[in-house]
Amino acid sequence: MDDAKYILQIIKRRASSRRYSDKPVPQEVIDNILEAGRWGPSVHRQQSWRFISVSDKNTILRIADICDQKAANLETGGNNFGGRIIRGAAFCVFAYNTGLLSGPLKKFKKMTYAELAHLAEIQSIAAGIQNMILTAEGYNLGSCWLNMPLVCQQEINACLNEHQELIAVVTFGFSQDSPKRENRAEGLIRKIL
Ligand SMILES: Cc1cc2nc3c(=O)[nH]c(=O)nc-3n(C[C@H](O)[C@H](O)[C@H](O)COP(=O)(O)O)c2cc1C
From 144, 175, 178, 181, mutation site for ligand 1 pocket: most ligand atoms within 8 A of C-beta? 144
Q: Specify the ligand 1 atom closest to the Cα of 17.
A: 26
Name the E strands within 43-177. 49-54, 91-97, 142-146, 165-173
Q: How far apart are CA 169 and CA 94, in angstroms?
A: 5
Instruction: Assign 177 a pLDDT band (cuts: 50, 70, 90).
Output: confident
Q: What is the DSSP letter of 20?
A: B
Of all protein residues, whose CA lies closest to atom 31 belonging to ligand 1? 145
Query: Is residue 8 domain-resident?
Result: no
In the chain the first and final C-alpha atoms are separated, in Å, by 28
Evaluate: CB of 150 within 6 angstroms of ligand 1.
no
Task: Check: CB of residue 95 under 8 Å from CB of residue 166.
Answer: yes
Q: How far apart are CA 12 and CA 87, in angstroms?
A: 27
Query: Is residue 178 domain-resident?
Result: no
Q: What percent of the chain has pLDDT over 70?
A: 96
Task: Check: CB of residue 161 under 8 Å from CB of residue 78.
Answer: no
Q: How far apart are CA 57 and CA 182, in angstroms?
A: 31
Give the range of the structural domain holding residue 166, as residue numbers without chain letter. 20-172
If one compares 81 and 138, the residue with the highest pLDDT of the two is: 138
Task: Check: CB of residue 169 under 8 Å from CB of residue 92.
Answer: yes
Query: What tens digit of pLDDT does each residue of 114-170 get?
Result: 899 999 999 999 999 999 999 999 999 999 999 999 999 999 999 999 999 999 999
Query: Is residue 183 domain-resident?
Result: no
Instruction: Assign 105 a pLDDT band (cuts: 50, 70, 90).
Output: confident
Of all protein residues, whose CA lies closest to atom 5 belonging to ligand 1? 146
Query: Is residue 116 domain-resident?
Result: yes
Separation of CA 129 and ligand 1 centre (Å): 12
pTM for this predicted structure: 0.95
Please enumerate in sequence order all residues whose Cβ is within 8 A of that of 111, keeping only pairs 6 or more positions apart, or say none. Answer: none
Q: How far apart are CA 164 and CA 124, in angstroms?
A: 16
Query: Is residue 1 domain-resident?
Result: no
Given a cut of 80, is residue 110 above it in pLDDT? no
If one compares 181 and 82, the residue with the highest pLDDT of the two is: 82
Q: For the domain that residue 156 is a member of, what is the CATH number? A: 3.40.109.10
Task: Check: CB of residue 59 under 8 Å from CB of residue 159.
Answer: yes
Backbone angles phi, psi at 87, to 5 degrees: -55, -35
Evaluate: CB of 25 within 6 angstroms of ligand 1.
no
The domain total for the chain is 1
